[in-house]
Amino acid sequence: MSLRLPAGARIQGPFLYGPWFDRLFIFGTAGIALVLGALAMISPAMFVAVVLVDIWLFASPHVIATYTRIGSGKAQLKKHWFLIFALPPIVLVLVTMVALAYELGGLFTLYFIAQTYHVTRQSFGIARAYQRAGPQAAGPDRLSESLIYLFPLWGLMHRCTTAPESFYGYPIYLPPIDAALTGATGMVAVFLCAWWGYRQLRLALAGRLNAGHSLFVASHLLVTAVAYLWVTDITSGWLVVNIWHNLQYLQFVWLQNVRRDAQGRLDTQEFHRLVKPFKNAGKYLALCLVLGAVMYEALSVAGRQLLWLGLPTVFILHFTVNFHHYLVDGVIWKRRKTAA
């Protein structure tokens, strides 16, 4: 997914929203993900507790957040009718076909690879948002963007090289990759990371550093390295990056919804005065939490009622919602091209 700012709704200044939001967005999300990931590795019981927190407070609400972008009014429903009504049954059929051909192992393999790409696209889009928010923005930062893609690629290759046999206790069939190729990719990634760090230092000394952009990219590299390279267990590593992704998505969608409702170019002071952020955030989070819980439970109940079909219907329904969410994100976050 590529998160991109909508045309005509950009705040002037070096922040996405303001100092408090950006600190929470960069440091808070990474910190919570790393702390909860560490707690999950203490014991099996703690792992289950953290997974439940992720599902009920972060993961399900983050899926609902997507639909606040495409189904919040008649105009949105009309504009995105295919995504809302036609795409879900198509995804359901495709997911069922994968389950029939490769069983649960195929579903979990597809999910793990697709989620890695999905999270990477989110980081790519957010990094570009920070780049454009800088007072000295001068187009895309190709080195940073290369690192945003390269570290997850290295991490995914590392998982393929180590060849885990299970993910969440279910089979996973990652394609085998030679260790030498993974090592070479890692060397390139480390070299580019060092080059990037040197360049950030030079920009800082020259007074031209976009701190928000640099800190966000650094958080992406840190969480990716921990989740895919440092944590040996594939499930525990996935949990770290999943919590981080969910929290970021919830915050970014809230920000974009507020900007959409504000309708126009606002400076930071005027923006804060008009939108009453904390009241707005409370309603948004309550909506996502309640509908997320209803959605998760409804899918689970429906899946259990359909077990007589002889298929893993609970997983099929949940994966259908996840993959539909990935595809919708790939459409709605494309930046609109303005007329020349």
How far apart CA 186 and CA 147 sit, in angstroms, is 11
Q: What is the pTM of this model?
A: 0.89
Q: 311 in a domain, yes or no?
A: no
**Nearest of 226, 232, 225, 246 to residue 115 by alpha carbon:** 246
Q: Would you place residue 243 in the very low, low, confident or very high pLDDT band (cuts 50, 70, 90)?
A: very high
Band of residue 69 on the pLDDT scale cut at 50, 70, 90: confident
Tell me the pLDDT band of 67, cut-offs 50, 70 and 90. Answer: confident
Measured from the Cβ of residue 24, the count of other Cβ atoms closer than 10 Å reads 15
Per-residue pLDDT, 164: 96
Condensed to tens digits (0 to 9), the pLDDT of residues 300-323 reads: 999 999 999 999 999 999 999 999
Arithmetic mean of pLDDT over the chain: 88
| Residue 268: alpha-carbon gap to chain centroid | 26
Give tens-digit pLDDT for 256-270.
Answer: 887 776 654 445 554
Residue 86 confidence (pLDDT) above 60:
yes
CA distance 304 to 296: 12
pLDDT bucket at 77, cuts 50 / 70 / 90: confident
* 313 in a structural domain: no
Which pLDDT belongs to residue 42? Answer: 96
Neighbours of 8 (CB within 10 A): 12
The tally of domains found in the chain comes to: 1
> Rounded to an integer, what distance in angstroms lies between the CA atom of residue 159 and that of residue 234?
7
Averaged pLDDT for residues 215-222: 97
Give the residue numbers spanning the domain of 188. Answer: 19-72+103-295
Is the CA virtual torsion 173, 176, 179, 184 positive or negative? Answer: negative
Q: What is the pLDDT of residue 104?
A: 95
Structure tokens at 304: 């259990």
Percentage with pLDDT > 70 across the chain: 86
Q: Residue 10's pLDDT is what?
A: 40
pLDDT at residue 338 tops 60: no
| Calpha distance 229→155 (Å, rounded) | 6
Does residue 308 belong to any structural domain of this protein? Answer: no
Higher pLDDT residue, 74 or 329?
329
Answer whether residue 133 is part of any domain. yes
Per this entry, what is the length of the chain?
340
For residues 328 and 70, what is the distance between their CA atoms, to the nearest angstrom?
Answer: 9
Q: How confident is the model at residue 273 (pLDDT cuts 50, 70, 90)?
A: very low
Establish if 182 belongs to a structural domain.
yes
Q: For residue 291, is it within any domain?
A: yes
Q: Give the containing element (helix H, strand E) for 171.
A: strand 170-171
With cut-offs at 50, 70 and 90, classify the pLDDT of residue 278: low
Decide if pLDDT at 8 tops 50: no
Residue 2: pLDDT band with limits 50, 70, 90: very low
pLDDT at 11 over 60: no
Among candidates 77, 6, 64, which has minimal Cα distance to 324?
64
As a whole number, mean pLDDT of residues 88-92 equals 97
The torsion defined by the Cα of 105, 110, 112 and 118, in degrees rounded to 10, comes to -170
